[in-house]
Amino acid sequence: MRFSVGCELQYEAITETTLILNIEAQRSSGQRLFEDRYTGPSGDVYEVPETGNRYRRLILAPGTHNFRYRAIVDTHPVRSIPDEVQETPVGKLPFDVLPHLYASRYCPSDLMARFAWRQFGNLGSGHEKVQAICNWIFENVDYLEGSSDGSTSAHDTFTLRAGVCRDFAHLGITLTRAVGIPARFVSAYALELTPQDFHAVFEAYLGGRWYLFDATRLCPIDGIIKIGVGRDAADTAFATYFGQLTGPPKVVTVERLGNVANQEWTVDAVSLSRQ
């Protein structure tokens, strides 16, 4: 599937400020990029070898700064039948995947093992377990703008039963780790999101790959274009700054290109991972 994705950001730096942007789509066997283009202040760039995250670090003088990113992305997802996607026993997990079993700032999976095992521990395949976690979140947590803030963890969301995409992803990650399956946060461009904005979903490590999950049901899982991955939102902000910034007025766009008939949402297990 082919997509045109992009965003326009505007920030006002009050003092000299270091800004780290992570708004550019990942390049991988699952995501091929054409016409990948950033316009804005120049800085240094870094593509993390292990994850494919692409960072752009900018030192901004006081004043107004504009940033623009555009890419054409072809996704080549690996599609699997959900009940055939098994979890990998901990004894067989790659060592570099193991840290995604551990608790992180917004995903205190250490606190939720009892609930997670009782509720999801006996389900079928690994993919079915994580899908059951997503279904449970969708049915039990209200999607409600303004119901959370930057300090809200999955411990809070589990009690409050309200949140936004970031909170849904955090709770999904937390419960998935709590049943012994590695999980990580994914920031993304997402098709059909209304209003259009950056999106947050998550991946679980199953059958030797990272499969995508979205407990919000706000967009089709094969309409996800990955930007950054990390332990949770603390790792994966689209913008991190050190100094004083105001903003951003932002516009995000995601369009499906090519010969697009009306399409059902997929029921496949979908992975964009580079393995």
Binding site for its own copies (CB under 8 A): 18, 20, 46, 48, 55, 57, 59, 89-91, 95-96, 98-99, 102-105, 107-108, 110-112, 114-115, 118, 140, 142, 149-151, 155-156, 158-162, 180, 230-231, 234-235, 242
Q: How far is the CB of 138 from its own copies (least distance, A)?
A: 13
Q: 27 or 32, CB closer to its own copies? A: 27
Q: How far is the CB of 217 from its own copies (least distance, A)?
A: 18
Chain Cα centroid distance, residue 236: 8
Q: 220 or 231, CB closer to its own copies? A: 231
Q: 35 or 96, CB closer to its own copies? A: 96
Amino acid at 153: S
Alpha-carbon distance of 115 to 1, in angstroms, equals 38
Q: How far is the CB of 104 from its own copies (least distance, A)?
A: 5
Asked if 240 and 20 count as a contact pair (C-beta separation under 8 A), the reply is yes
Q: How far is the CB of 224 from its own copies (least distance, A)?
A: 23
Q: 103 or 269, CB closer to its own copies? A: 103
Q: 111 or 132, CB closer to its own copies? A: 111
Q: How far is the CB of 182 from its own copies (least distance, A)?
A: 12
Q: 35 or 142, CB closer to its own copies? A: 142
Q: How far is the CB of 57 from its own copies (least distance, A)?
A: 7
